[in-house]
Structure 1
Amino acid sequence: MGFNSRHDDLNTLLEPASVAIVGASDNPDKIGGRPIFYMRRHGYAGTIYPINPQRAEVQGERAWPSLDALPATPDLAIVAVAGEQAVQAVDKCAELGVSTAIVISAGFSETGSAGKALQDAMTARARAAGMRIVGPNSQGLANFGNGAIACFSTMFLEVEPADGPVAVISQSGGMSAMIYGLLRQRGIGVRHMHATGNEADVTVSELACAVLRDPQVRMVLLYLESLQDADVLARAAALARERGVPLIAVKSGRSEAGARAAASHTGAMASEDRVVDAYFEHHGILRARDPHELVRWAELSLRGPLPRGPRVVVVSNSGASCVLASDAAVEHGLQITPLADRTQQALTDRLPGYATTTNPIDITAALLSNNGLFGQVLPVIADDPAADMFLIDIPVAGRGYDVETFAADTAEFAAASGKPVAVVAWQENVAATFRARGVAVYADEQQAANAMASLYRLHQWQARDTAPRHDAEQGTPSSFDELSSPSRFLSESQSLALLSDYGLTVADYRCCTDADTAVAAWRTINAPVALKACSAQLPHKSEHGLVALRLNSEHDLREALHRQAQTLKDLNVHDATWIVARMQGGLHECALGMRHDPVFGPVIMIGSGGKYVEAMQDVALLLPPFNTEDVIRKLQGLRIGTLLTGVRGDPPADMEALAEQAVRLGQCALAANGKIASIDINPVLVRAQGQGAIALDALVELSNSSET
């Protein structure tokens, strides 16, 4: 996979041969002292250059009065001085040819427009000199694989670091430390913990690409408040997929209030949340709601393979816990399927007569008198067709229970089965015993089922066809450079023609200039028609009474056109023509749409349509390219999805044809390459299965025209 060289050249951030600390302190509890303390403590083998004009030595290292005085140019500089001194230090680093700098100092874009201007100018000078910047307002970067701890986080003193398979990358320093701490509480080692701050230059996405080249990394966890380089994160997702490394993210700013808070924190704008969801799904990035959920998902993923199906087998020593675990699994979209007869017979041979052997399996309080029950039961169910993953629920254990044996048997089973195993144990000592054996443990059934469902979703995304996602043959493309309009909108006839070029099925219509040509068109169509005024100046015709339906006589047609002509005159619209279109019949009114997002590019909308489209809000989003199977999966998750399959005697609708319309709209949007701001197709009339779907009305908004 090829990457832009600018995004590639971050080795000196993660593996610097030498580090200068501008503002170095002899006090390890000061911001300028922590990195030196951490690097010495964790075995950093490179050269440390403390910069402090007041001291000859800092924390046992020779100090230097200035960057100019250094005997060699460092790979990495940490800037831990305030205000104008920070800007001067960054400029001096760039002048000396330092490869990368971490600007810990605050007071830049997070403070407002003046701070952003200062940040932008400083970054531009660094970029011109070829130097990369992390921050400003960054907590720093930490690589525990080599001891390069260019970070001042207190968390490393609170929770002892341990190298491990996880990389944590965050815009927020506080969130990176929290995720690190939660992982360590669960006994999971962290190799990378990086915080990008304001992201004047280096982003979370770029660092995700960088850490994925570390062969020891088996999990990448992200915290994002904004996303300004979606294409780079897409590359990281592709690299993660190639390596089989789960990429899990928290993207804050789900609410309007949260988005405002994120903007004030990082100085960056947030994207519309539904589009973020569609982007993550498109690229196979799991989205957790918060750091706690993020870490719970990570723990289960690290402990074993992804589940290949949605079926869960529950085992507990409590009938009540069996019920709660089953309910939780079903609530999260998983399945509790009865075990095969042969499995049930084998369980009957091992369990007391009052135990339950279907699924869930209640091994009862007999566990207290037979500490080997887990070891006897688990191997029996390992290969049952109902078993894609296992949830072991222990509501009570303690004195009299051999928890060490339970944990050892469970860990052995998890390794042998090759399937995900989660344990529910709320007692801390019980949980710690299982976790010490490398088993994922959760405080309750909801947490366990939620983690299992997330990993099954990731498996589904990773199992998708990775071939180019274009089902339909692309139609004859229009030249988007030649599109023009007196306003930013195309007329309806222009809009329909553009969509027809890309293979969408549109209504049978004629363009007319007066009543005589409208009547002639009606006679040619020889069926009831709709009459619609057509002008780029009037994108919303219905609001002005410029749509007349079910006209089927010359008198009615002329009368409707006369009324519309008078309305157009009152509105001072002189360039109008008319569309005469055959009235269409079908089962359901759906809607298709496209919006060009400034971060993610074209986004396709599909769902319920007609005049209640805004009220229903029953729509799904996809990022092109995609195929018809992708669209149908999305439709099946909507309320209208049930109607499209046929209910109360109605025949099934032609979802395949509707999905193909969406695929072709995605192709059109990609070909437009940003020249179209939005497309609104409503309604799309969906007929019975095998009879197709047809776009009845369309409105294209250009992004390169200005209203006149």
Structure 2
Amino acid sequence: MAPDFSRQHGLDKLLAPASIAIVGASDNPDKIGGRPIHYMRRHGYTGTLYPINPQRTQVQGERTWPNLDALPAAPDLAIVAVAGEQAVQAVNRCAELGVAAAIVISAGFSETGAEGRAQQDAMTARARAAGMRIVGPNSQGLANFGNGAIACFSTMFLEIEPADGPVAVISQSGGMSAMVYGLLRQRGLGVRHVHATGNEADVTVADLACAVLRDPEVRIVLLYLESLQDVGALAHAAALARERGVPLVAVKSGRSEAGARAAASHTGAMASEDRVVDAYFEHHGILRARDPHELVRIAELALRSPLPQGPRVVVVSNSGASCVLASDAAIEHGLQIAPLADPTQRELVNRLPGYATTTNPIDITAALLSNNGLFGQVLPVIADDPAADMFLIDIPVAGRGYDVGTFAADTAAFAQASTKPVVVVAWQDNVAAAFRAQGVAVYADEQQATRAMAALHRLHQWQARNAGHRHALAHRDSSTSTQTNPESTTTDAFGSLHSRSSFLSESQSLALLSRYGLTVADHTCCTDADAAVAAWRAIDAPVALKACSARLPHKSEHGLVTLGLNDECTLRDAFDRQAKTLAALGIDDATWIVARMQDGLHECALGMRHDPVFGPVIMIGSGGKYVEAMQDVALLLPPFSAEDVIEKLQGLRIGTLLAGVRGDPPADIAAFARQAVQLGDCALAANGKLASIDINPVLVRAQGQGAIALDALIELTTTPDPENP
């Protein structure tokens, strides 16, 4: 019987092994093969250790074995800390002996090029055939401080003393896992899991994220990613995190082209377009941090406060300048500074000196020096004000004469009684330490604080918007959502697509989109001038004449689109010119579209690209001939809702125009959003058969009057069949 090789198979043996073999064990705790033994002896690992060293009878007080074959039983886990071919041989022998999992610390595999990748792939295939899981190669190892299974050689655990806690850190990079661990511990946060996956020949960051989310003591999971090899596994981790109410926060490096190249040389990672990564994270409710420092700042606030229920921040400071900086930073990151209610302001007037500011932000001034209880007097007054979803206490300077201990105690008492986040800004180490000792989240400046607050607000927005909604979307059969005859949709619409090129003609493209519920311009297909004239007469209004062929996807640049035709003579002249152009280009399969000229308020665009990693990605935004120059677009991953589309549009420049400005009526955003949802359904149902879809322009009319696709171009990924054009 073939071994069970589901993604979660064997991961328990990595995180909670009952026995561990160390191949290449060293008596020196500063050697790679010695440090895991030192750590596990020091931090209370209660399982069995099997050091493998043919040159010694003992290492670090533990009995050794000369080789894997000499062991009394197959261990749950093997740490492979030997180099080159010895590492490959050790992994192969582990698989043959029935070892459940191996951590391959050795480097020199896929990160070195094609030869190293081939060696890595062969080694992994043999392990997979035996049902053995592999972490690495090129891995720093795994550490579980909940049970002392520290199969890792990081020096950071010597530099900063471990403490068990609610955080799990999982990283492709060993250096980044250690850095994030160190930053967390410097902030007084306990860390339970610190895992580095290296080249990810088998076990990925996403696999381990799923595993640690089953640990009930884990309250937040932090990820460092250089590549996204299995977006399905990461989506599953995000779903588990959502079910448990555990924030999933990630740094995805390689934002720039240079960074992507560096990531590839580091772990053999493959880069993905960064905007698509953003869309994927947002779709699944994964918070994205810019760097490890921000990752830790978000973690501190998430662990020390509830999620904010809204975007409004009340700022309290003893400096007018800090009030201004905090307000600017909050607005910059999408938060709000709302005025306090009149009753709140009246009560503040009674408690603060006459020269203090009692609106929002609240400047309690230098009076704090003479009255150390001001924070304790002010905070309860603003606790339930309608303008307060979060509180930011900004202390630019506090030294001799300031009772920082009282400030911290009063703030902590307020935070513990509040159901809203309380954040402190204090750049002085001693001031920050006093607040942090009381369990309050502290940041060095206003930008750091408000970015963390905005991140938690985004998480709350995502949870609120997708409670029940996203789960339903993720499990619906999108191929049946807009069709009256769903059983035949995929076969009829996609199974018989053929073209003499990789594109469909405009008429074929519009027909396919119409089948998926998109509203497209009424048009007639013609093959000669007489038929075009007849079509115009039937429309009895100005028309557009467009020559279309699958072999000529871009018509306008060849003069094959003529607009505003409204008499027979000019229509025939336009037809003749286009026919001559086609003949010169060698196009012999063209048809002509005759379509009524349309009017509306705004030209928008819809698009789809099939990403090799993420699948279909939908683009929405400004359209028309300047679409490339404007770059006023947003991305979504289907399935999504019309509400998701509208929210994205509101963040674009065209969103303001669509809402109606300078007397213009509001546009029918809801109709455009429905078109986008239907395009997402179409892309999902195509199941990879469509490489791209370009719908430009989509003419959006006044509210209640709809939106209509005027032009479309579909690119196929299926092999063209020249015998069936």
Q: Which amino acid aligns with 1:166?
A: V
For the pair 1:599 / 2:613, whether they are aligned, the reply is: yes
Q: Secondary structure at the match of 2:465?
A: coil
Per the TM alignment, residue 458 of structure 1 is displaced from its structure 2 partner at its CA by 1.0
| Partner residue, 2:592 | 578
| Partner residue, 1:367 | 368
Q: Distance between the aligned counterparts of 2:494 and 2:543, measured in 1?
A: 31
Q: Is the 1:8–1:210 contact (alpha carbons within 8 Å) kept by the matching residues of 2? A: no
Per the TM alignment, residue 527 of structure 1 is displaced from its structure 2 partner at its CA by 1.2
Q: Is the 1:208–1:236 contact (alpha carbons within 8 Å) kept by the matching residues of 2? A: yes
Per the TM alignment, residue 70 of structure 1 is displaced from its structure 2 partner at its CA by 0.4
Q: Distance between the aligned counterparts of 2:297 and 2:622, measured in 1?
A: 35
For the pair 1:481 / 2:495, whether they are aligned, the reply is: yes
Q: Is the 1:54–1:65 contact (alpha carbons within 8 Å) kept by the matching residues of 2? A: yes
For the pair 1:636 / 2:637, whether they are aligned, the reply is: no
Per the TM alignment, residue 8 of structure 1 is displaced from its structure 2 partner at its CA by 4.7
Per the TM alignment, residue 706 of structure 1 is displaced from its structure 2 partner at its CA by 4.4
After TM superposition, the structure 1 = structure 2 runs for residues 32-111 of structure 1, keeping only pairs within 5 Å, are 32-111=33-112
For the pair 1:564 / 2:578, whether they are aligned, the reply is: yes
Unaligned runs of 5+ in 1: none
| Partner residue, 1:456 | 457
Q: Is the 1:680–1:698 contact (alpha carbons within 8 Å) kept by the matching residues of 2? A: yes
Q: Distance between the aligned counterparts of 1:105 and 1:669, measured in 2?
A: 43
Deviates more, 1:525-534 or 1:428-437: 525-534
Q: Is the 2:493–2:512 contact (alpha carbons within 8 Å) kept by the matching residues of 1? A: no
For the pair 1:388 / 2:389, whether they are aligned, the reply is: yes
| Partner residue, 1:123 | 124
From the superposition, tell whether residues 261 and 511 of structure 1 become closer, same or farther in structure 2 (CA, over 3 Å): same
Q: Distance between the aligned counterparts of 1:345 and 1:515, measured in 2?
A: 80
Q: Which amino acid aligns with 1:475?
A: Q
Per the TM alignment, residue 7 of structure 1 is displaced from its structure 2 partner at its CA by 2.6
Deviations 1:71-111 (CA, angstroms, capped at 9, x unpaired): 01000111111000010011001111111111000000000
Deviates more, 1:527-536 or 1:158-167: 527-536
Deviations 1:590-631 (CA, angstroms, capped at 9, x unpaired): 110001111111100001111111111110000111111100
Q: Distance between the aligned counterparts of 2:5 and 2:312, measured in 1?
A: 42
| Partner residue, 2:426 | 425
Deviations 1:46-88 (CA, angstroms, capped at 9, x unpaired): 0111011111111111101111110010001111110000100
Q: Secondary structure at the match of 1:299?
A: helix
Per the TM alignment, residue 659 of structure 1 is displaced from its structure 2 partner at its CA by 0.6
Deviates more, 1:468-477 or 1:216-225: 468-477
For the pair 1:292 / 2:293, whether they are aligned, the reply is: yes
Q: Secondary structure at the match of 1:6?
A: coil
Q: Secondary structure at the match of 1:463?
A: helix
From the superposition, tell whether residues 588 and 269 of structure 1 become closer, same or farther in structure 2 (CA, over 3 Å): same
Deviations 1:183-209 (CA, angstroms, capped at 9, x unpaired): 111001110000010111100011110
Q: Is the 1:488–1:707 contact (alpha carbons within 8 Å) kept by the matching residues of 2? A: no
Q: Which amino acid aligns with 1:641?
A: G
Unaligned runs of 5+ in 2: none
Deviations 1:308-362 (CA, angstroms, capped at 9, x unpaired): 0111111111222222211211121111111112212222222222222211112
For the pair 1:693 / 2:701, whether they are aligned, the reply is: no
| Partner residue, 1:337 | 338
Per the TM alignment, residue 4 of structure 1 is displaced from its structure 2 partner at its CA by 8.5
Where do 4+ consecutive residues of structure 1 move more than 4 Å?
Answer: 470-473
Q: Is the 1:654–1:686 contact (alpha carbons within 8 Å) kept by the matching residues of 2? A: yes
Q: Which amino acid aligns with 1:128?
A: A
Per the TM alignment, residue 380 of structure 1 is displaced from its structure 2 partner at its CA by 1.5
After TM superposition, the structure 1 = structure 2 runs for residues 161-560 of structure 1, keeping only pairs within 5 Å, are 161-465=162-466, 466-467=468-469, 468-469=472-473, 474-476=482-484, 477=489, 478-560=492-574
Q: TM-score, normalised by structure 2?
A: 0.96
Q: Is the 2:481–2:681 contact (alpha carbons within 8 Å) kept by the matching residues of 1? A: no
Q: Distance between the aligned counterparts of 1:372 and 1:45, measured in 2?
A: 51
Question: Identity percentage over the alignment?
Answer: 83
Per the TM alignment, residue 397 of structure 1 is displaced from its structure 2 partner at its CA by 1.2
Per the TM alignment, residue 449 of structure 1 is displaced from its structure 2 partner at its CA by 1.1
Q: Which amino acid aligns with 2:540?
A: N
Deviations 1:279-311 (CA, angstroms, capped at 9, x unpaired): 000111111111111111111111011100111
Q: Secondary structure at the match of 1:524?
A: helix
Deviates more, 1:664-673 or 1:483-492: 483-492
| Partner residue, 2:680 | 666
Deviations 1:222-264 (CA, angstroms, capped at 9, x unpaired): 0001001111111111111111111110001111111111111
Per the TM alignment, residue 473 of structure 1 is displaced from its structure 2 partner at its CA by 5.0
Q: Secondary structure at the match of 1:533?
A: strand
Deviates more, 1:470-479 or 1:522-531: 470-479
Q: Is the 1:328–1:449 contact (alpha carbons within 8 Å) kept by the matching residues of 2? A: yes
Q: Is the 2:253–2:260 contact (alpha carbons within 8 Å) kept by the matching residues of 1? A: yes
Q: Is the 2:10–2:101 contact (alpha carbons within 8 Å) kept by the matching residues of 1? A: no
Q: Secondary structure at the match of 2:664?
A: coil
Per the TM alignment, residue 552 of structure 1 is displaced from its structure 2 partner at its CA by 1.3
Of 650, 664, 667, the match for 1:653: 667
Per the TM alignment, residue 707 of structure 1 is displaced from its structure 2 partner at its CA by 8.3
Q: Distance between the aligned counterparts of 1:69 and 1:695, measured in 2?
A: 72
| Partner residue, 2:690 | 676
After TM superposition, the structure 1 = structure 2 runs for residues 9-20 of structure 1, keeping only pairs within 5 Å, are 9-20=10-21
The number of residue pairs the alignment matches comes to 706
Q: Distance between the aligned counterparts of 2:171 and 2:392, measured in 1?
A: 31
Q: Which amino acid aligns with 2:589?
A: D
RMSD: 1.4
Q: Distance between the aligned counterparts of 2:10 and 2:706, measured in 1?
A: 51
Q: Secondary structure at the match of 1:705?
A: coil
Per the TM alignment, residue 648 of structure 1 is displaced from its structure 2 partner at its CA by 2.0
Q: Distance between the aligned counterparts of 1:345 and 1:602, measured in 2?
A: 55
